[in-house]
């Protein structure tokens, strides 16, 4: 039986919030805005918890990198059924420039430290849409990766993953230890219920810094500018098909 | 606040204080080219409050705000305004009050009784820009929301807290709109309707007065302080005031859920099972009835293979241990009532499969006659009378050659005939209309109501009079006259 699953959870702006760009164009407004767990991370947690319920895994550890507030996100994972949490403290400038490279270095270091044999992550975060952390983590660990998973089956010391790809579905078999990233149709995550939220308060969250794991937090990426998409222009009504064709020609579209 | 009035002498009709000249003046106000100056001045006054983008006279937008999901035809307002806060709502109402313009509150337009039609033109107040969830108190199980917050929006907001708002009318309706129509849903048998779950409302009256029905900011779980103004406005369908905030009662999310389906040889057997399940003290969360016609429609629509018999769809909420007990007791009861094919599931995906028939019932009914529209009836009777009314209604449908599959919230004695009809065929429209009147009167004769959850709106005003009787109607009209003496709030509805 596999010992330990590591699940990465990211605290992002809630999907239902209308995003606004800061007046200085350096980023988006995050103060006072509702945050919650990245939806793909919820799917990852759900999958890990289901594996534990099927007794295919012994322990689920939820990890998040960021300032004090990410503890709420870890608590949600605990309420969904994770056993314990790890909060890697990253704040200030380091948090502003935190990206997939640093996170994957942290996850790789933790995977070794915790002797995890399975890492499940969301396929991407809804704030940056990078879709890189899972792939980078696998590369750093030199582990096989099953990305965009819509189905995950543990078969002994191997993992069968059905991947959602452009042409349809691809089924692959990977030797453990392995990194899997969750796609939308992998499962439907459970809601955290009150009794479980109460129980989660008693579960442990360990604190550590990237330095404790020997990770260099320097970013190789610098955000120059953030802009809103162009405002939608009013449409024009036309009277006839000829009119439409001539207007399209004028605009150089045909 | 307008001074208190005596009840009007003409008891059978809505008080029409200055109305005939008033609405002619309104119509004149907005019909070009006469009196364009007055129209422009009013529009400028509205724009001064709500901003240029907050006042719209475009035809498409007005049509969108003149219809809901009922079969009543579109009655567009003259203007649509989009206030951003209660102060703007109040200021805009004052302008309408001064010019005697009807005020029509609009949430999501998902009503089923034509409640948003602007019969006399006027100003539609679309409240969707006021979309904040305010003041969540997790430990007190309450939250205050603005009218732009919908049911699904709120539950999504709450998803990390372990709490939810269980009233589920099907559509993703505005919560304040649900309060205005006293909405209910499949969960009512366990969690109640809006009447039981609204703790406080912020109301704007036609003259712009703003007040809170239970006192500003108050949210005790129970109270015996003064008249129950909160429940006066719940169900008032926009005829007494605009609802700009609602404080709602929240519940803990169920730890686990089990869904089950069971077929029965007769309607009587299905309803008997329902009554016995309730009597056994099973805290059942949803208990839905689909008749054989509906099951057949669902089978065809979704390529399912349920036995074509009266069927119950059940849902249980609780801890794993409690669920085991609930399901065991219920299965036993259904067996004793000749129920068959009892199947149940606990995981989300299989539950969704099991309930798919019930979820898609509306579309399955529509698919029986492509190109037609559907109208849902909505009567509610005491439980013991349910088998009789359903049997008589089915007979009525057959005799009159009408398509009306039945879906019902049997735990409440409430059921809907989904009348599928061709709206262009006046003869069929007439037959359906007469059928629904007979059905409503059948329910009234059995100590029931002509509307269990959809409201009175436009089409059931005469039935309301029959249901309540002239004296109760007089009291209602007196209240209306007190709170809205100029009859500007959604005129032509309810009373």
Which residues in chain B have their CB less than 8 angstroms from residue A190's CB?
348
Question: Distance from A24 to chain B by nearest Cα, in Å?
Answer: 25
Residue the block writes with tokens 């879906």: B407
Residue the block writes with tokens 């007769």: B266
- CB-based contact A193 B160, cutoff 8 Å: no
Cβ contacts from A onto B, under 8 A: 40
Distance CA A171, CA B398 (A): 53
Distance CA B235, CA B494 (A): 10
Q: For A191, which of B253, B319, B349 is closest by C-beta distance?
A: B253
Q: Is a pLDDT exceeding 50 seen at residue A219?
A: yes
**Stretch B30-47: mean pLDDT:** 75
Q: Report the chain B residue with the minimal C-alpha distance to residue A35.
A: B157
Q: pLDDT category, B24, cuts 50, 70, 90?
A: very low
Distance CA B477, CA B13 (A): 8
- Return the closest-CA partner of residue A173 out of A155, A188, A185: A155
Position B447 scores a pLDDT of: 96
Q: Does B172 contact A at CB distance below 8 Å?
A: no
Which residues does B52 contact at the CB level (< 8 Å), separation at least 6?
Answer: none
Q: Where are the alpha helices (DSSP H) in B130-227?
A: 151-157, 175-180, 188-191, 194-197
Position B35 scores a pLDDT of: 57
Q: Is a pLDDT exceeding 50 seen at residue A170?
A: yes
Q: Report the chain B residue with the minimal C-alpha distance to residue A189.
A: B348
- Return the closest-CA partner of residue A181 out of A253, A90, A100: A100
Residue of B160, B163, B323 to mutate, testing the A interface (most A Cβ within 10 Å of its Cβ): B160
Position A1 scores a pLDDT of: 63
pLDDT over 90, % of chain B: 79
- CB-based contact A195 B319, cutoff 8 Å: yes
Q: Is a pLDDT exceeding 60 seen at residue B30?
A: no
Q: Does B253 contact A at CB distance below 8 Å?
A: yes
- CB-based contact A191 B319, cutoff 8 Å: no
Q: Is a pLDDT exceeding 80 seen at residue B66?
A: yes
Position A215 scores a pLDDT of: 95
Q: For A195, which of B153, B161, B255 is closest by C-beta distance?
A: B255
Q: Which helix (H) or strand (E) holds B125?
A: strand B123-126
Q: Does A191 contact B at CB distance below 8 Å?
A: yes
Which residues in chain B have their CB less than 8 angstroms from residue A191's CB?
159, 162, 164, 253
Question: Distance from A194 to chain B by nearest Cα, in Å?
Answer: 5
Q: Is a pLDDT exceeding 80 seen at residue B19?
A: no
pLDDT tens by residue, B305-340: 899 999 999 999 999 899 999 999 999 999 999 999
- CB-based contact B254 A190, cutoff 8 Å: no
Mean pLDDT of chain A: 95
Q: Does A120 contact B at CB distance below 8 Å?
A: no
Question: Distance from B255 to chain A by nearest Cα, in Å?
Answer: 6
Least confident of A84-98, A229-243, B457-471: A229-243
Could you tell me where the beta strands, DSSP code E, fall in B297-339?
311-318
Do residues B147 and B132 lie in contact, with contact meaning Cβ atoms separated by under 8 Å? no
Longest CA pairwise span in chain A (Å): 71
- The encoded tokens of residue A33 equal 């805005």
Cα-based distances in Å from B255 to A190, B163, B370:
10, 11, 41
Distance CA B10, CA B14 (A): 8
Q: For B253, which of A34, A76, A193 is closest by C-beta distance?
A: A193
Q: pLDDT category, B3, cuts 50, 70, 90?
A: very low
pLDDT over 70, % of chain B: 93
Which residues in chain A have their CB less than 8 angstroms from residue B252's CB?
193-195
For residue B361, the number of C-alpha atoms closer than 13 Å in the C-beta half-sphere is 27
Position B14 scores a pLDDT of: 43
Q: pLDDT category, B354, cuts 50, 70, 90?
A: confident
Q: Note the ipTM here.
A: 0.86
Which residues in chain B have their CB less than 8 angstroms from residue A196's CB?
162, 255
- CB-based contact B253 A194, cutoff 8 Å: yes
Position B92 scores a pLDDT of: 97
- Return the closest-CA partner of residue B156 out of B140, B129, B139, B175: B175
Q: For A192, which of B156, B157, B162 is closest by C-beta distance?
A: B162
Distance CA B75, CA B493 (A): 13
Question: Distance from A197 to chain B by nearest Cα, in Å?
Answer: 7
Q: Report the chain A residue with the minimal C-alpha distance to residue B133.
A: A34
Q: Is a pLDDT exceeding 70 seen at residue B31?
A: no
Q: pLDDT category, A134, cuts 50, 70, 90?
A: very high
- Return the closest-CA partner of residue B287 out of B428, B369, B216, B188: B188
Q: Does A72 contact B at CB distance below 8 Å?
A: yes
Q: Report the chain A residue with the minimal C-alpha distance to residue B319.
A: A195
Distance CA B172, CA B168 (A): 8
Q: How many helices (H) and strands (E) does chain A have?
A: 7, 11
Q: Does A35 contact B at CB distance below 8 Å?
A: no
Cis preceding linkage at B451, omega within 30: no
Q: For B162, which of A16, A34, A194 is closest by C-beta distance?
A: A194
Q: Is a pLDDT exceeding 60 seen at residue B302?
A: yes
pLDDT tens by residue, B142-171: 999 999 999 999 999 999 999 999 999 988
Q: Report the chain A residue with the minimal C-alpha distance to residue B150.
A: A16
Position B34 scores a pLDDT of: 40
Q: Report the chain B residue with the minimal C-alpha distance to residue A188.
A: B348
Identify any residues that bridge with A119 across adjacent strands, giving them in sequence order: A6, A179
pLDDT tens by residue, A21-72: 999 999 999 999 999 999 999 999 999 999 999 999 999 999 999 999 999 9
Position A124 scores a pLDDT of: 98
Identify any residues that bridge with B134 across adjacent strands, giving them in sequence order: B144
Question: Distance from A244 to chain B by nearest Cα, in Å?
Answer: 21
Q: Does A234 contact B at CB distance below 8 Å?
A: no
- CB-based contact A16 B255, cutoff 8 Å: no
Question: Distance from A19 to chain B by nearest Cα, in Å?
Answer: 14
Cα-based distances in Å from B220 to A169, B198, B224, B249:
54, 11, 10, 10
**Stretch B342-361: mean pLDDT:** 85
* Phi, psi (rounded to 5 degrees) for B121: 65, -155
Which residues in chain B have their CB less than 8 angstroms from residue A79's CB?
162
Position B171 scores a pLDDT of: 86
């Amino acid at each position: 039986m596999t010992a330990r699953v590591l699940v990465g959870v990211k605290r992002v702006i809630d999907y239902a919030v209308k995003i606004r760009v800061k007046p200085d164009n350096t980023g988006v407004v995050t103060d006072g805005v509702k945050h919650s767990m990245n939806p793909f991370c919820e799917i990852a947690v759900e999958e890990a918890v289901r594996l534990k319920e099927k007794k295919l895994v012994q322990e689920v550890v939820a990890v998040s990198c960021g300032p004090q507030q990410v503890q709420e996100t870890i608590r949600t994972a605990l309420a969904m059924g994770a056993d314990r949490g790890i909060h890697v403290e990253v704040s200030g400038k380091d948090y502003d420039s935190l990206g997939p490279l640093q996170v994957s270095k942290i996850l790789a270091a933790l995977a070794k430290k915790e002797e995890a044999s399975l890492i499940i992550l969301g396929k991407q975060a809804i704030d940056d849409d990078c879709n890189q952390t899972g792939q980078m983590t696998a590369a750093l660990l030199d582990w096989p990766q099953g990305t965009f998973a819509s189905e995950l089956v543990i078969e002994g010391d191997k993992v069968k993953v059905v991947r959602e790809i452009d042409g349809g579905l691809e089924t692959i078999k990977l030797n453990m230890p392995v990194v899997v990233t969750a796609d939308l149709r992998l499962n439907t995550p459970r809601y955290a219920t009150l009794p479980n939220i109460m129980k989660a308060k008693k579960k442990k969250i360990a604190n550590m810094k990237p330095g404790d794991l020997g990770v260099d937090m320097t970013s190789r990426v610098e955000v120059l500018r953030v802009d809103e998409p162009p405002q939608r222009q009013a449409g024009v009504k036309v009277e006839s098909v000829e009119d439409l064709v001539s207007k399209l020609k004028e605009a150089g579209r045909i | 606040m307008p001074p208190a009035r005596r009840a009007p002498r003409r008891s059978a009709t809505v008080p029409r204080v200055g109305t005939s000249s008033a609405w002619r003046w309104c119509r004149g106000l907005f019909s070009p080219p006469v009196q364009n100056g007055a129209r422009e001045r009013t529009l400028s006054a509205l724009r001064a409050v709500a901003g240029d983008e907050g006042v719209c006279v475009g035809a498409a937008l007005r049509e969108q705000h003149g219809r809901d999901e009922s079969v009543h035809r579109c009655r567009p307002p003259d203007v649509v305004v989009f206030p951003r806060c209660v102060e703007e709502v109040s200021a805009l109402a004052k302008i309408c009050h001064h010019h005697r313009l009807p005020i029509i509150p609009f949430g999501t337009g998902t009503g089923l009784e034509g409640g948003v039609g602007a019969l006399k033109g006027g100003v539609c107040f679309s409240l969707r820009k006021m979309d904040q969830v305010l003041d969540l108190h997790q430990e007190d199980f309450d939250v205050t929301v603005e009218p732009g917050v919908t049911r699904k929006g709120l539950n999504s907001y709450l998803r990390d807290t372990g709490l939810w708002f269980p009233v589920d009318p099907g559509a993703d309706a505005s919560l304040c709109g649900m309060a205005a129509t006293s909405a209910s849903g499949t969960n009512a048998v366990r969690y109640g309707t809006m009447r039981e779950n609204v703790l406080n409302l912020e109301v704007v009256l036609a003259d712009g007065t703003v007040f809170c029905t239970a006192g500003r900011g108050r949210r005790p779980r129970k109270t015996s302080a003064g008249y129950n103004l909160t429940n006066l406005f719940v169900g008032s369908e926009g005829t007494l005031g605009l609802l700009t905030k609602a404080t709602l009662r929240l519940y803990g999310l169920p730890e686990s859920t089990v869904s089950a389906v069971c077929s029965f040889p007769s309607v009587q057997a299905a309803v008997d099972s329902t009554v016995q399940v309730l009597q056994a003290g099973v805290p059942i969360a949803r208990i839905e009835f689909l008749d054989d016609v509906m099951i057949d429609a669902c089978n065809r629509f979704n390529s399912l293979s349920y036995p074509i018999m009266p069927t119950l769809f059940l849902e249980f909420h609780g801890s794993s241990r409690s669920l085991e007990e609930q399901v065991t007791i219920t299965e036993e009861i259904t067996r004793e009532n000749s129920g068959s094919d009892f199947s149940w599931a606990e995981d989300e995906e299989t539950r969704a499969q099991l309930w798919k028939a019930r979820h898609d019932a509306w579309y399955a009914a529509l698919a029986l006659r492509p190109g037609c529209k559907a109208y849902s009836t909505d009567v509610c009777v005491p439980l013991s009378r349910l088998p009789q009314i359903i049997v008589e209604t089915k007979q009525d449908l057959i005799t009159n050659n009408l398509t009306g599959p039945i879906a019902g919230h049997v735990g409440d004695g409430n059921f809907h005939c989904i009348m599928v009809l061709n709206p262009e065929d006046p003869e069929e429209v007439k037959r359906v209309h007469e059928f629904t009147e007979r059905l409503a009167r059948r329910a009234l004769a059995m100590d029931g109501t002509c509307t269990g959850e959809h409201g009175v709106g436009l089409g059931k005003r005469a039935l309301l009079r029959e249901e309540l009787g002239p004296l109760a109607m007089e009291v209602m009209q007196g209240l209306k006259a007190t709170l809205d003496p100029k009859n500007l709030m959604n005129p032509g509805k309810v009373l």
